[in-house]
Structure 1
Amino acid sequence: MQLKLALPKGRLMAPTGELLRSAGLELTGYDEQSRSYRPQCRDMPGLFTKVFHEKDIPIQVAIGNYDLGICGREWVEELLAKYPSSAVVKVRDLGYGRSDLYVVASRSDGLSTLDVLRTRAGAVSIASEYPNLAEQFALRHRLKRFKVFPLWGSAAAYPPENADLALVAQSPDTPLYPWLVPLSHVLRSSACLVAHRNSWRSRDLSCLLARLCAVSSVTESDHTPAGRADGPGTPAVSRAAWDSSVRLALPDGHQREPTLACLRKAGIHIRDNSVDPGRPGISVPGVSVKVIRPQDMPLQVANGNLDLAITGDDWLYDHLCRFPTSPVRKILGLGFGRVRVVAVVSGEMPVNSPQDLRDLLRSGRLGRLRVASEYCNIADKYARDNHLSPYRLVPTWGASEAFLPEDADVLIENTQTGRTLAQHGLKIIDTILESTGCLIGGTTGPDTASAREVVDSLVRALEQGIAED
């Protein structure tokens, strides 16, 4: 009998590997250097393991693709907040990867409790990558009117300019910014072992559970809740200064360095802010900068929270696939970060084009197509445009190559050369679009003539920098 265990990548990978070794389960290929998503366990030949982004693990366990999984408790609670009857069972707290979830506000807003917000006439806005927990929080605390902004990350950068509150995670090594004040503790989280409900009830999991439960939970020293980094108690840019300037968003993550290089070629210099990394300085007068996830930028521009943003063609297109009339447009292609967004299948699947997929569905050899992607809106449009019916979307949060072929049939993914896909036994059957970094803005532009002049000068500088490259 094969047992299936979903394992986390990222922050929980190293301590999870240590836990498994202590349980006598030595996995080959489960470490940060490995590019394998299917570690091998010689100590238990009947165990199949796969590596996922931890946010995907509760969902994969709940739908029955895996008998057991290890992930942060916050992602289990995020799933249960929206789908309380999900078939996922919390088996055991594993004691490592501790963090706390807090609802925070900007200290400059003068809030110390939720009482003022409960009686506010207007809607209270909450930004978070935990949107279901944020909504649950608002309902439990009887906020009369509220709206939740689902994010990919960097929620702490949103108050006070773009949200009243943020629901954020704080771990011992990531204290809160000093200008954020915690208003409510929502959840204490750590790594936990979860099981699919039917597997828990009807399958013999004892051979694996006995090993895992025989190991003492990894203990971590307690940390002081809601610790704050040293620094001033106000943001580097005031709300008034932000609102009166041209508001520019720059990407975090792997696009940060090529973005900064592109700006330097245009004679635009970004100054690091050690106190507030999310609000760096800029050499252009009249411009304020915020660092957020590129995935979130098109919606923030469309909502009027930003004037300009540097994101990718892929995320702009993903946004427009869902909101075709959204008031956001591409102003300038920047040329860096070139990738293709492609449709991918297992190398063993007998298809080489969307037409082949359609024929496979119509013949009945494939009952329903499972389409996995971080680009949910592109994936949905692609399936509809190519008449790949019936289909089901499988949203992912990273490590998407792992889903094929066991947990999805088609992957919509970006690639530079295609080599990594080929190394995982996958093949490209279609190219949907080519993407590079791009500057986006609202369709109407800023309200004032002075702001429009600043935008025009930024665009001219970038155009000149690209031309000289």
Structure 2
Amino acid sequence: MLRLVLPKGSLEKATLELFEAADLAVTRSSEVDYRATINDPRIADVRILRPQEIPRYVAEGMFDLGITGRDWIEETGSDVHSLGQLRYSKATSRPIKVVLAVAADSPVRTVTDLDDGVRVSTEYVGLATRYFERHGIKADVRLSYGATEAKIPEIADAVVEITETGRALRAAGLRIVDTILESYTELVAHPLAWADDDKRHAMQQLHSLLEGTLVARTRVLVKLNVSEPDLDAVIAIVPAMKSPTISKLFGTDGYAVEAVVPKATINTLIPALKDHGATDIIELPIAKIVP
């Protein structure tokens, strides 16, 4: 039913791992094959292509559904429907920023300090051109095929480049002047495919599986036993997603408690539960959480 396109390159491994964890394993003949399949009746065809190209292909209807970055959606000006962000790898768990940067010793402090004719090197020609036009600056924006930060000062006066922390830019002797865009990876659909009831329903189901898998990565299931006198104290420190499940233990005055809790705090939660009287504490991984 759905024609799906997934990103090749830096996001490829993490994307395939996410789909496998969501029980949507991607199968292909080799790691360099651009064609793939997913054993799911909702997915008819799978391609693996560069994320820079995906927004335009989805917008043109070559694919119904795809994964790409907000930066490339904005760069290409593609008309796509976003189902939402997917933060599934180190590179996508926090936003990538598209920034304007100059030499660290440059007197430029804001974009308006730049003069007409400023030489700008970037992979984001469309995004950068529109940015300077909004600020009334006639910039000479040139396409960079890589090593963009190395082009100041001989080849360019400024760069429009992506960064996560700014560390690489600082190491190259550059200083960030402005953040143009914050970008996450997104699941996007062709507008006409999204308007089709059957395709939209299939897309929503796939999105639920992917999002449920991502949510589960941040949670664990905790199960424990506790005596009746200690029950209130234990419940008070359990940071459950909803109310914890409590069951009476057969033949005793104790209770069994289970709750879904943040994985990030489990290292302090388990000792605290034990200190408050909990016993037989079990931590279990969760595959999916679909509300």
TM-score interval for Structure 1 and Structure 2 normalised by the shorter chain: 0.5 to 0.7
In the alignment, which residue of structure 2 is the partner of 1:421? 169
Query: CA distance change for structure 1 residues 450 and 443 in 2, over 3 Å: closer, same or farther?
Result: closer
Query: CA distance change for structure 1 residues 343 and 303 in 2, over 3 Å: closer, same or farther?
Result: same
Distance 1:329 1:410 in 2: 33
Contact 2:7–2:15, Cα closer than 8 Å, also in 1: yes
Structure with more of its chain in strand, by fraction = 2
Partner amino acid for 2:2? V
* CA drift at 1:352: 2.0
1:18-167 equivalent positions in 2, closer than 5 A:
none
Distance 1:407 1:283 in 2: 50
Partner amino acid for 1:294? P
Contact 1:347–1:426, Cα closer than 8 Å, also in 2: yes
Distance 2:119 2:80 in 1: 30
Partner amino acid for 1:310? I
* CA drift at 1:284: 2.2
* CA drift at 1:329: 2.3
Is 2:118 the counterpart of 1:374? no
Distance 2:146 2:176 in 1: 18
Instruction: Give the counterpart of 2:30 among 250, 253, 274.
Output: 274
1:157-236 equivalent positions in 2, closer than 5 A:
none
Distance 2:167 2:79 in 1: 37
* Deviation by residue 1:314-333 (Cα, 9 ceiling, x = unmatched): 1011122xxxxx53122110
Contact 1:273–1:281, Cα closer than 8 Å, also in 2: no
In the alignment, which residue of structure 2 is the partner of 1:257? 13
Instruction: Give the counterpart of 1:313 among 70, 73, 90.
Output: 70
Is 2:52 the counterpart of 1:303? no
Distance 1:448 1:433 in 2: 31
In the alignment, which residue of structure 1 is the partner of 2:144? 396
Contact 1:346–1:404, Cα closer than 8 Å, also in 2: yes
* CA drift at 1:467: 2.0
Contact 1:265–1:466, Cα closer than 8 Å, also in 2: no
Instruction: Give the counterpart of 1:329 among 78, 81, 85.
Output: 81
In the alignment, which residue of structure 2 is the partner of 1:462? 210
TM-score by length of 1: 0.43
TM-score by length of 2: 0.68
Contact 2:6–2:12, Cα closer than 8 Å, also in 1: yes
1:428 is paired with a residue of what secondary structure?
A: strand
Q: Which structure: larger Rg?
A: 2
* CA drift at 1:306: 0.7
Percent identical among aligned pairs is: 34
* Deviation by residue 1:384-427 (Cα, 9 ceiling, x = unmatched): 11222x32111112221122111111111101111111111111
Distance 1:283 1:350 in 2: 57
Contact 2:65–2:188, Cα closer than 8 Å, also in 1: yes
In the alignment, which residue of structure 2 is the partner of 1:89? none
Residue segments in structure 2 that go unaligned for 5+ positions in a row: 218-291
Distance 2:18 2:141 in 1: 35
2:193 is paired with a residue of what secondary structure?
A: coil
* Deviation by residue 1:38-60 (Cα, 9 ceiling, x = unmatched): xxxxxxxxxxxxxxxxxxxxxxx
Is 2:3 the counterpart of 1:247? yes
* CA drift at 1:447: 6.8
- When the two chains are superposed, the root-mean-square deviation of aligned CA atoms in Å is 1.9
Contact 2:81–2:194, Cα closer than 8 Å, also in 1: no
* Deviation by residue 1:309-354 (Cα, 9 ceiling, x = unmatched): 111111011122xxxxx53122110014231111111112111221
Distance 1:351 1:436 in 2: 28
2:71 is paired with a residue of what secondary structure?
A: helix
Distance 2:84 2:129 in 1: 27
Distance 1:327 1:426 in 2: 34
The runs of 4+ residues in structure 1 deviating greater than 6 Å are none
In the alignment, which residue of structure 1 is the partner of 2:237? none
Is 2:170 the counterpart of 1:439? no
Distance 1:342 1:252 in 2: 23
Number of paired residues? 211
Contact 1:330–1:441, Cα closer than 8 Å, also in 2: yes
In the alignment, which residue of structure 1 is the partner of 2:231? none
Is 2:71 the counterpart of 1:291? no
Instruction: Give the counterpart of 1:406 among 126, 142, 154.
Output: 154
Contact 2:97–2:162, Cα closer than 8 Å, also in 1: yes
Distance 2:108 2:196 in 1: 54
Partner amino acid for 2:128? A
* CA drift at 1:276: 7.2
Residue segments in structure 1 that go unaligned for 5+ positions in a row: 1-244, 321-325, 362-366
Is 2:102 the counterpart of 1:353? no
